[in-house]
Structure 1
Amino acid sequence: MSVVSSIQSDVDLSSYNTFGLAAKAKYFAELKHAEDIAELITWACTKKLSWMVIGGGSNLLLLEDFSGLVIVNQIRGIQVAENDECYIIKAAAGEDWHQFVQWTIEQGMPGLENLALIPGTVGASPVQNIGAYGIELADVCSEVEFYSLQTNSMQILSNKQCEFAYRHSIFKAQLKDQVIISKVTFKLSKSWAAKREYGGLKLLAEDVSAQAVFDEVCKMRISKLPDPKHLGNAGSFFKNPLVSQEHLSSLLSRYPEMPNYQADKGQAKLAAGWLIDKLGLKGFSIGGAAVHQDQALVLVNKANAQAEDFLALCRHIRQQVWQTFDVLLEPEVRFIKDTGEIEPNAVLGKPNEAE
């Protein structure tokens, strides 16, 4: 049966975004085979419709109904090869990320354990260059396979060609809205050593196992992050901001306890959650949207929140952080309007010097 014949109309997306926001897709399709991508895109283009691919819906703020075609990536499959130095794992884009990480540990192929319990799918991981506890996707990704709208064919980019940066990649820049990721290849070194530089991982023994690191990461994330099945959220709402060393020195003179980490190009990375918490905003709410009471970096759907509630809450947090620390917080979550993704600043505006 043709995949186009299975396209549905006016589908509720509440269960397809982890905020649980009520929004509808004018057209909706489930993508289970990479070879069906071209047919779906051709159908949308013929009808002059916008289109959007989602995985687990864990990084989306749906601002309104989507007027085009929503494609849910459900391509499955994992293939493994190895050589003397590493395991080479090809995982389909629709695989659940956490389940995939757990599977690699169970198979005795360590390297992804620090990235446990990050919500979403394998296909979304290179777009954001997901990261946690000292590891980024860029550290373990070998290549990304995708369907290119420019060439109407499957293509592959190497790690270097993906232009990975902090929560960024070529898929958010030059190739934004031009590709549909079908597969990601990982290279996990057999010369594995635990990464224990962040958080509670510092307390683990030097000879700790990958399973123990995985378990500790899960424990820490569960203690901080609410389960979206019970309390709608998208994990970390804001990126950890980068500042100059001069700015960092100024901040540390006022807040010597402020967490900070060295970053590329001589910059320093601050903990967005700490900044928000320092302002006493845990539990603060606007409408049905609230700052989580245990983790200030997480915004939650506390009581049937509307998209505008989250926008208002986001603006308020950014304003307070800007006035106090002279730091601009940028959302990590993708903002989606009726025809597709937009830059958050287009709807948030910039904080004022004085409120």
Structure 2
Amino acid sequence: MSGPGRRPQTTIFTTMSALALRHGAVNLGQGFPDESGPARVIEAAAAAMRDGHNQYPPLAGIPELRQAIAAHQRHWYGLAPDPDEGVTVTAGATEALTAAILALVDPGDEVIALEPSYDSYKAAVAMAGGTLVPVRLEAPEGGAGHWRLDRDRLAAAVTDRTKVLLVNSPHNPTGTVLDRGELEAIAALAVERDLIAVTDEVYEHLVFDGREHVPLATLPGMWDRTVTIGSAGKTFSVTGWKIGWATGPAELVARVKDVKQWLSFASGTPFQYGIATALASEDGFYRDYAAGYQERRDLMVAGLRRIGFDVHEPEGTYFVTASAAPFGYADGLAFCLELPERCGVVAIPNQVFYLDQAARPEVRFAFCKRLDVIEEGLQRLGAGLA
């Protein structure tokens, strides 16, 4: 973190996006779709603008969106957050997560997170004066199988200073979807050690091959100790709207709201009306959404394997992890920095998602792109790495 005479570090996403522009590269690095959201959702936001909903919304979000979020949680998972006291709308999931960490973590507290982990986790914990304690998911050898949680390793990481379990499923960047057994182990540990859980579930509707996303808050003993974080950007392809939320028991959500008022206070009034419409989508929309991304996943995985990468097929999200080791690279960062000029493609090195930042051969490709864009990226990779 920054201090006197120091500047915050530039994120890898900024660096790689700049390289993409410089070299005219296909950007398979940053996770934003290249297509806009459903027309009815865009029109709902535009109608809100035309109707004059262009001033500050309430701190917790417009009532229509809070009610839609609560109804969504009830419909899909049987959860029942109070729309007035148990839901707060945020400027994207990153603000929700940061506000939750700042609200719940005191200086000296430890926060356990599954590693590799999204880079904002480390920053949020540092801002709170806490210590991030990584628990690494186990990576299968040679691309076979899926990354999994070592339950004994998780239990051993808990100390008297542990305050929060930060759980991300479906998991970025590995694409792991924690199964019910893994989640039950996390829940049992949280109850036994009286820990709070903060769950990042922004890819909740993006699971493949008939898998099920199980919110940690639905497990016995977890509702009263869990802040659940969601987002509209990924599900409805409107990442630029930055509409996220935190839900849970009123006491925990109130603490998140207390911090949020000093971050953005409130934002995106017409976009909030658009997302209220979006969340009321028929079940078929969500099924088609997942099926469309599964097709893109299959195209990306098959193409990367054909080129020669060792590929870990994701169970969810819109990212796939592949090893550059078959091309002679032990350092994924070096590989990714060369890739835009060499191949005209951008990827993200997985080592930025580890606390130690040590060199690793794994890199992350995003397949939240049109099929023709994915095919173009694969063609460039194949030609450049041949």
TM-score range, shorter chain: under 0.3
Alignment TM-score, normalising by the size of structure 2: 0.26
Alignment TM-score, normalising by the size of structure 1: 0.28
Larger relative strand fraction: 1
Larger relative helix fraction: 2
